[in-house]
Each structure stands twice: as structure tokens, then as C-alpha cells.
Structure 1
Amino acid sequence: MTIGEREQLGRWARRRKSSQALALRSRIVLECADGHTNKVVAARLGISQPTVGKWRSRFVEHRLDGLVDEPRPGRPATITPEQVEDVLVATLESTPEHATHWSRTKMAEKSGLSPSTIGRIWKAFGLQPHRADGFKLSNDPLFVEKVYDIVGLYLDPPESAVVLSVDEKSQVQALARSQPAFPMMPGMPERRTHDYVRHGTTTLFAAMNVADGTLISATHRRHRATEFKKFLATIDQNVPAGLDVHVICDNYGTHKHPTIKKWLTAHPRFQMHFTPTYSSWINQVERLFAEVTRDLLQRSDHRSVQALEKDLREWAKAWNKNPKPFIWTKTAEEILASLGRFLQRIKDGGH
């Protein structure tokens, strides 16, 4: 490898955001040039050995040109690779003036290409500037320990015990649409008004048995420590006396209130397991809340809180007639490895 080739590969590998495929290929070749075997390079970069072998061979045969995707048969391209790279770099490493993200029209004006060409380039590289996903990383110092604890309860529950995924769905609104809905007809979906009248709120308390999917539920107008204690008492009444109770819940203040701690001291068969901060995804009852939202609440039309609570109780009864447990499959090691790869992508994208 010449000095010039190494310098060019280094520039490609260090590119902040754009052309990550080319950056990865450059890192493969640089690792190989340092004398590492395909197996070692694959392990270091988290890829397969055939991938390492492919790009090592391509570089040996075609040098730097071998790392660029091969041309495909058909009409010769009218857009040069340099133009494509300029579009990618501008899309990923800059923003238009007086705007937060690029549109096809704005990028077309900047690059001199047509909006349709910009759209094809973005599609080919999986870029969608108009979209933005959200995320929140846990800052819990005991994150790893809590993941192992809760996933262990899912995959290997203790004997003579029941594991319950517990949470509250607060601020469930009794909404009355301002006009009756137009029913669904062939070729036309159901139509509902966008405006409504609020008739109050309630809170759905739920404890889902992770083994069989059965549900213990209650509704309360508020969700203070007092109501949570009442719900724990409801759980205590519904779980056979000979079983320990492992409760998985989040870090909401009412779950750790002195009133709750005192109640737990008087009921030693209860053991609390708190999820890491900002990690509601690990609590299976959230999946159940998605079900009740889709089935009942999304298109609800309730003229009173009492009517809403009645429907919630009826939904829970119907659920328990044919409960569906959510099967947890990922181990703690797989979850932590996945988060590690996500953090690495964030790190690579910011440097």
C-alpha cells in the first residue's frame, strides 16, 4: 500500500457522516494492511469474514477504485460519482440556509441536479431528510444490573412465584366526539370529527402475569401513592397466598413512596424490581397498554368517566378470557450488545 493510498483511505474512514459503506471498506483495508487476518478484522469491526475477504481482494485487484460499487449494465450514467458524493456530503454534513433539513427542491437548487435525481440518490443510500426519530438513552448507573435482573425474571422466573409487569396508564380521557361518526362503507373508511368534548380522566392500573398473560386491573381517578397501595392490595388478594410476588415497575415517585415501603415491609412476599430510567421498553405491560389503546381508546366516544371505566373493566375481562402472553426472547447480553452497536454508530457519526 502506498503512502497516498493510505492517506486517502484514512480520509474516507474518518468522514464524519457520509458514505458509511465506503468508510467501512476503508477501515477493512487499513486493518488488513496492518497485518491482521480476516478473522481478526471481522471480529474487530463486527462484520463477517466473507465481507473482509471480498474487500481485501477488491483492493488488491483494483486498488482504491475497487472499493467503489461496481458499475451496473445499462445506459451510461449521466451523473458523475463526484456529483453523487457532493449531494451525500451536503445532505449529511450541512443544512440549508434558514431551514432545519434538506428538501429535494433545496438540494436540487444547490447541486444543479433535478429534484427527481436527488430523490433517487437519497433512496439509493437510504436517506430521508424529512424524517426524524426520537431516542432517550438511560443514565441509570445501575443500568446493566437492572437489565440482567428483569430479563432474568422473564427468561428464568423463580419457582413458587409469580412475576407481574406493573404500571399505570394515567390521564385516560373520556372524550365525546362533537358529532356522530359516519360509518364505514365500501370504498370509504369510517369518518370521525377531529374535535371533541372532555368529560374527565381516569387511570388504569395494570399488573400482567408475564407467564400466562392474565391481567389484574383497577381504575382510579388519581394515581398517587395511596392509589398504588390500594392496587398492591388488590394484587395481594388475587395472587394465591403460597406464591411470592415479583413486581416489575418503573421509577415513578409513587412506587418508592414511604407509604409503599411501609406496606411492602408488612407484606414480605412482595419484591420490587425497578426498570432502568428511560427504559419503559423493558416493561412488558407497556405492550398491553398499546393493545388497549388500539382496541378501545383510539376511537373511543365516552360521555362520562364512569362509562369509560366500565369499558376498561369490560376490556380487561375479555382479555382474561383469552390472555396472550408476550414472549420475551432476547437475553441481557443480546440487549447490551445491541445498545453497544447503537452507541458505536452514534460515535462514528459524530466524528
Structure 2
Amino acid sequence: MARRARIVLLAADGLRNDAIAQRVGVGRVQVGCWRTRYAEGGLASISKDRPRGGRPRTVDAGEIVRLTTQSKPEAATQWSSRRLAAKVGVSDTSVLRVWEKHGLKPHRVRGFKVSRDPKFVEKLEDIVGLYMAPPEHALVLCCDEKSQVQALDRTQPGLPLKKGRAQTMTHDYKRNGTTTLFAALNVLDGQVIGQCQQRHTHAEWLKFLK
């Protein structure tokens, strides 16, 4: 209290903030603060401290995860760290830490297709159950097909990989039509069985499965 009163008295004598700070042994910012407080509220304003803001708000990671995954901000497609930080009352750095810890990347979006099959969920449960807990002595294969694969050949043979030089190939190529790739993944050991066919009909598909 004595230091604050001395600041006010020296200010009344016409001293500048830097001179008052040097005499009292405080910073210029603090001198300016107490001079402003006295000018606004008189002696009572420097006799006690203003109420403090309290402890910083604790970061609620669960709330951040819930808002990120189950809601969208107004007029936007996904949350930004600053917008979500303002929503929950924490710093954007805190939001980024929670996102990193939980593997959340709101800026990345992947497309998907929704099946219109009314029995889709039932079929999905059967397939996932087969992968997760296959019957004893069962062979589980995940099969798929890729049609219209370009069959290309280079116009000139390339040079092999050597020490200090990468493998090379010509930029030009010639087309040999298209082919269809059928493949099956052995879920147990990761082995892939592949086969190419000229046509893409149910006959070739059944032939591959057999």
C-alpha cells in the first residue's frame, strides 16, 4: 500500500512514469497501472487488489472429443481448433493436443457409399464375425475384382538398378488392351492369390473362386 501511495504522490509532483519507476523500484507498466487506477477511483481504488480471475478452466478432453465427432459448427463443415477452443473456453493448443492424443483429424474427409440392401447389417455382421472368429479348420478368403486394368508395355527395355543409379524406364509405352484382375486375400496369413482374365463376366469370377 505504501508503494502505491508513493507512486501516486510522485505522479502528483509531475514526475514521468519512467522516473517514478526508477525511484520506487518497479516497472513502468506497474506505475501506469496504479496511476490509472487512482485517476478512475481515487484512494479507495489503490487500497485493495481487484478480484482475480481464478484458476484456469480445466480441459475436458471428453467434451472436446464429443463435439468434434458428434456435432458441427454453425455455417461450417467441421471444427477448427480455434473455433472449438472458443466454444469450450480453452486454448486452441489444448484442443490440438486432445485431437492428437485421440487420433482425430477433422480437416480430413473420406468418401463412402451407403448400401441400399435391407439386409446389409445382417450380412455385415456375418462377414465381420467370420473374420473375427472363423470356424475351426476353416479357410477364410477376402475376394475382390478390378476390371478395365490397362495392360501396358514399355517401348524400350529399361536399365537395371545399380549402385549410385536408380532403375530407369522409358516414358513412352504401348497399349495392349485391358484385363481384369481377380484377387483373394487369405485372412489368416496375409497371402494374396491373384489371376488376370481377358473377360469380366460371372463365368470368369466363378472360375477364379473354384
Please confirm whether the aligned pair reaches a TM-score higher than 0.5, indicating the same fold: no
**Structure richer in helix, relative to its length:** 1
Q: Give the TM-score of the pair, scaled to structure 1.
A: 0.27
Q: Relative contact order (alpha carbons < 8 A, sep ≥ 6): 1 or 2 greater?
A: 1
Higher gyration radius (CA): 2
Q: Give the TM-score of the pair, scaled to structure 2.
A: 0.38
